[in-house]
């Protein structure tokens, strides 16, 4: 899997957010967060195993319920402990503030961290979440 290859997965019930920032991005070609992030997080395409959710993604289902369809492209920074440290919304379809509101619980998603050489490492990856008219996956 490459760092920019979308990963599709399913939604799970969300606990309250842990204070991680969820930020919009004007373009995927913008710098990926503050400079200190770049040195601490390895791109997923350089790992033996990419980070992935333990139970499914935590999203605000009340925000998503009225949408007949939609998708979100999101960049995540996942710690070696499996914590989502930063969320960046790269694209939402349809456009609108619904996506940022839907992503508020996402940092509470329990993650399996990325691994290289059998050891957990902090990593960044891009995830695509897509609706099937009933729920996001």
DSSP designation for 136: B
Please write the tens of the pLDDT for every residue from 98-116: 999 999 999 999 999 999 9
Q: How far is CA 63 from the centre of its chain?
A: 17
Q: Say how far apart CA 6 and CA 62 lie, in whole Å.
A: 24
Q: What is the mean pLDDT of the chain?
A: 79
pLDDT single digits (tens) 38-64: 568 999 999 999 999 999 999 998 998
pTM of the model: 0.73
């Amino acid at each position: 899997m490459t760092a920019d290859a979308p990963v599709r997965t399913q939604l799970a019930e969300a606990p309250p957010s842990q204070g991680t920032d969820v930020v919009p991005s004007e373009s995927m070609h913008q710098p990926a967060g503050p400079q200190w992030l770049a040195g601490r997080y390895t791109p997923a395409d350089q790992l033996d195993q990419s980070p992935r959710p333990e139970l499914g993604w935590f999203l605000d289902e009340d925000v998503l319920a009225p949408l007949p369809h939609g998708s979100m492209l999101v960049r995540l920074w996942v710690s070696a402990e499996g914590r989502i440290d930063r969320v960046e919304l790269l694209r939402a379809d349809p456009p609108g503030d619904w996506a940022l509101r839907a992503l508020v619980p996402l940092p509470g998603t329990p993650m399996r961290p990325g691994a290289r050489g059998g050891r957990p490492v902090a990593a960044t990856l891009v995830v695509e979440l897509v609706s099937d008219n009933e729920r996001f996956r």
